[in-house]
Structure 1
Amino acid sequence: MTSRRSSDAGLFGRRLRQARLRAELPQDRLGVLAGLEESSSSARISRYESGIHEPPVRFAEALAKVLGVSAAFFYCADDQLAEVILLYADLSEAKRRLMLESAQKLAA
């Protein structure tokens, strides 16, 4: 299996669902925390996750903040890079610097 998906259809929704489940949040709670009205939050998040709609970038950033990930994660087609983004999100600032230094050494 390659790290890049052959189809990016529904990529945002797949990543959103992954991050939401990782954060152990139900759809309705995520929507409310990101600024949606309670009456429509579950349906809106469901539409985003199913790929019916994709939110504006500003709202994707609000979702990312609630979920503790970078908004880049939602748009990352490469599964390995997406995993790196998740790992990075969980690190302290000091460990983020170490990760960057390690990556720079590997790339040299």
Structure 2
Amino acid sequence: MDESSASGRMNHYEKGRHVPDIDTLRKLAKELDVPLNYFFCEDNLSAELACLISNLDEAMKKKLIGMIKDNEK
């Protein structure tokens, strides 16, 4: 994103005048160090979970899935 237009573009996104495309969202996620799905969370708790889960290694993600599935029973 060109620095000269970044502020204006972000303002349009924040106000809902424009919706960023998926490539722009990927770039924003990388810059903000958040997972892509962060932008689709409907509340702060879900966003926090998305960030925490994205930082887990594969083994811990599988363990967490097992724990959640066990809790559903």
What TM-score does the superposition give when structure 1 sets the normalisation length?
Answer: 0.53
Structure 2 partner of 1:80: 45
Q: State how far apart, in whole Å, the 2-side matches of 1:42 and 1:106 are.
A: 44
State the 1:101 CA deviation: 2.0
Identity %: 33
Say whether 1:65 aligns with 2:30: yes
Q: Report which structure shows greater RCO (CA 8 Å, sep ≥6).
A: 1
Measured against aligned partners, the alpha-carbon deviations of 1:71-103 in whole angstroms (never above 9, x if no partner) come to: 222122244333321221232333222222221
Q: State how far apart, in whole Å, the 1-side matches of 2:19 and 2:9 are.
A: 10
Q: State how far apart, in whole Å, the 2-side matches of 1:90 and 1:71 are.
A: 13
Shift >6 Å, 4+ stretches: none
The Cα RMSD (Å) is: 2.1
Query: Per residue, is there more helix in 1 or in 2?
Result: 2
- Mark the runs of 5 or more structure 2 residues left unpaired by the alignment: none
Structure 2 partner of 1:54: 19
Report the structure number with the largest CA radius of gyration: 2
State the 1:54 CA deviation: 1.4
State the 1:55 CA deviation: 0.4
- 1:51 maps to a residue whose letter is G
8 Å contact from structure 1 (residues 48, 54) kept in 2: yes
Measured against aligned partners, the alpha-carbon deviations of 1:46-79 in whole angstroms (never above 9, x if no partner) come to: 2212322210122112212332322222122244
How many equivalent residue pairs? Answer: 73
